[in-house]
Amino acid sequence: MVPVLMLVLGVVAATDRDFTDVEQLRLPRLFHLDNYERCLAQRGGQYCLGSFRVSADQENPKYEFIKEFSSSPQNFDRTLLHRGYCVSSRCPSEANITLRFERCIQQHVLPPGFTAALQTYSCETKKEVDFKMDIPQFAFLLVIGIILFLNLMGTLYDLLKGGEAKSKLLMSWSLRVNWQRLTSTHDDGDPRLTALAPIQGVRVLLLILVMMTHASEIQHKVYLYNPEFFEKVLTYPITMLIKNGSSITQIFIVLSNFLFGYSLLIYSKNKQLGLSQLPACIMHRIARITPIHMLVVGFAATWWQESGSGPQWAATIGAESQICRKKFWTHFFFLHNFIYKDEHCLLQTWFLAVDMQVYFVASALMLYMIQKKKNRIQILTCLFILSCLLNAGLAYINDWKSLLYIMLPENVRTTFHGIPSFSQYYISPWGSLPSCFIGLITACVHFDMQEHGYKIAKQRWFTTLYHLSIPLIVLCLLAGNVMLRHTSRGAVSSFLAAERPTVAFLAAICILGIANNVDSGGPVIDHIVDVLRCATTYSSGGSAPAANVQFAAFLISYAVIIHLWTD
């Protein structure tokens, strides 16, 4: 294992050619911002932020070098420069603001022989106190007011009744009751479900990694002082854990469907289930997810753009807020990964749409197989294989590529706008179907083993595979360094169809090991599992709430991070 890992780490992703630091000094700065507050503090201060395309009127060696540098996919496009200028102080007077900004750029950025054409821009002056609340903003405040009122009524009712009130509806709004639920570890519940507590710890750990990835993605969108760092760092072999780390999101799909399938199978032992319960099953999931989802999207669509200011505020948060207002209804129906799919409102919410869409498939399948008493594992295995073949065929026909191949600085800066591999595969439900089926298969296998008294923890082949599961996941991610050398259509489509199912399968092995309390000579993974178990079992240490609020943290993390970077 170690020699193989070292071999993978030793492979460096190929680039068209390496540019020296001296050569890069010949490039114009990619980003620049004048002092925003000082500009608007002046009388008649006007601040403009925009992107412009540079070109040369005739053959120019410096321009040819800029084009050569930009042609390397590992670099930002240096023919598209980004500036934030205080036009009122540094630019020549001109009634037409577009022409004034272009001339300003020509004067301060471009050498003789170059021209600049504005692509996008926005200008603002010192804001007067003339804010008027619109209907969506009022509606959001009204919803918040109703929630706070219900919290107040529920809490007062709970306190007046001494915690022995009979109205479940009012008690559900009590702050005391909800705090108890937040810190509860459900130790008095079904012991089979309680034994899965460490899996919630896995979710918390993965969520932290997702937040870190989003922080890196957001940094590509803001005006960086040293963009060369991001151009270089993505060529390092070890950063393949990020470039090829998108498969990690599939572990969430596996976990979600494993927990759902296993809970449903346990419930079916005491109650007859069938497709007649499908509407109730779907409504239960919608009722759990929709309120907080729409609350966060509602804030983003209304008050987010009013919550701060800065030179990049309008171009980042302001623009995304407008997209959220445009796509609000699509989020309500969990269709935002299909409609206006190149425009993203809170990027991380694509996962909610995909999770809900595959949940519809999982619910119908599980209820049908339970009702008809079908061979669940065989059916799900066939569906898993067919879904992998479907993705391989679609990838080959449409020339889709794994995120590994398109995780490039300029693509990340534009959030993969116009990249079919992202909008048609990465955030699509069919891209996550194999992981959904693996999660259900794992639930069925675990349930059947318990029903028949099969002790998989005593099988040496499984304990060995279990303890290798995490290192193998890391190795799969690092293998992207090797895959970058293979760019044929067949190789790329095959890798796309195999990467997510492979990580999902290894995650399933890990889940089965944790659920069956496998322990044998693996101190590292055993220690990790002990930590995860503590993180989700003991509320006295304050860590149980981390598992219970992970969904809310997942939703608001992106908005908080981008707010900090642009304010």
Q: Give a three-class secondary structure readout of 204-215.
A: HHHHHHHHHHHH
For residues 515 and 172, the answer to whether their CB atoms sit within 8 Å is: no
Rounded CA separation 269/566 (Å)? 53
Residue type, 332: F
Q: How confident is the model at residue 355 (pLDDT cuts 50, 70, 90)?
A: very high
* DSSP run (H or E) holding 118: strand 114-125
Between 155 and 201, whose confidence is greater? Answer: 155
* Residue 174 reports pLDDT greater than 60: yes
The mean pLDDT value for 515-530 works out to 61
| pLDDT > 60? residue 474 | yes
DSSP state of 132: -
- Give pLDDT, residue 165: 64
- The number of residues making up the chain comes to 567
Q: Of the candidates 234, 256, 235, 194, which has an alpha carbon nearest to the alpha carbon of residue 437?
A: 256
Residue 119 is classified by DSSP as: E
Average pLDDT over residues 212-236: 84
- Specify the residue for token string 């002092």: 35
* Helix runs in 399-478, H state only: 403-406, 409-413, 420, 433-452, 460-478
What's the Cα-to-Cα distance from 33 to each of 39, 94, 169, 292, rounded to whole Å?
11, 21, 53, 36
C-alpha to C-alpha distance for 529 and 540, rounded to whole angstroms: 19
Six-digit token string for 97: 């603001």
Q: Once rounded to an integer, what is the mean pLDDT over residues 43-58?
A: 87
98 vs 352, which has greater pLDDT?
Answer: 352
Q: Which of 112-121, 235-244, 425-434 has the highest mean pLDDT?
A: 425-434
CA pair distance 105, 115, nearest whole angstrom: 9
**Residue 534: pLDDT band with limits 50, 70, 90:** low
- Closest C-alpha among 116, 80, 81 to residue 101: 116
For residue 525, the model assigns a pLDDT of 54
Helix 460-478 to helix 523-537 angle, to the nearest 10 degrees?
A: 90
Choose between 186 and 28: higher pLDDT. Answer: 28
What CA–CA distance (Å, rounded) separates 314 from 318?
Answer: 4
185 pLDDT tier (thresholds 50, 70, 90): low
Lay out the sheet containing 46-56: strands in order across: 31-33, 80-86, 46-56, 114-125
CA atoms within 13 A on the CB side of 230: 27
Chain position carrying tokens 């040293």: 226
Other C-beta atoms lying within 10 Å of the C-beta of residue 180: 12
Single-letter residue type at 84: G
pTM summary value: 0.87
Distance CA 245, CA 347 (A): 16
Q: Average pLDDT over the chain, rounded to whole? A: 84
Helices and strands, counts by H and E, the chain = 29, 4
> Are residues 107 and 91 in contact, defined by beta-carbon separation less than 8 angstroms?
yes
Which range is least confidently modeled, 181-190, 247-256, 270-279, 502-511?
A: 181-190
CA atoms lying within 13 Å on the CB side of residue 137 = 12
Helix, strand or coil, per DSSP, at residue 51 = strand
User: From residue 206, how far is each of 200, 212, 245, 551 by CA, in Å?
Assistant: 10, 10, 11, 12
Banded model confidence at residue 189, pLDDT cuts 50, 70, 90: low
The alpha carbons of the chain give a radius of gyration, in whole angstroms, of 27
Q: What is the mean pLDDT of residues 165-175?
A: 81
User: Does 318 or 187 have the greater pLDDT score?
Assistant: 318
pLDDT tens-place string over residues 268-325: 888 888 899 999 999 999 998 999 999 999 999 999 998 888 899 988 999 999 999 9
Tell me whether strands 114-125 and 46-56 are parallel, antiparallel or unpaired: antiparallel
Structure-model confidence comparison of residues 528 and 345, the more confident one: 345
Q: What's the whole-number mean pLDDT along residues 503-510? A: 94
Domain residue ranges in the chain:
26-125, 135-183, 191-519
| Cα separation, 272 vs 20, whole angstroms | 70
The predicted model gives 552-563 an average pLDDT of 84
Structure-token pair, residue 101: 């900004």
Specify the 3-state DSSP secondary structure of 114: strand
pLDDT of 213 > 70? The answer is: yes
Residue 363 pLDDT grade (very low, low, confident, very high; cuts 50, 70, 90): very high
CA-to-CA distance for 150 and 170, rounded, in angstroms?
A: 8
Q: Is the pLDDT of residue 536 over 70?
A: no
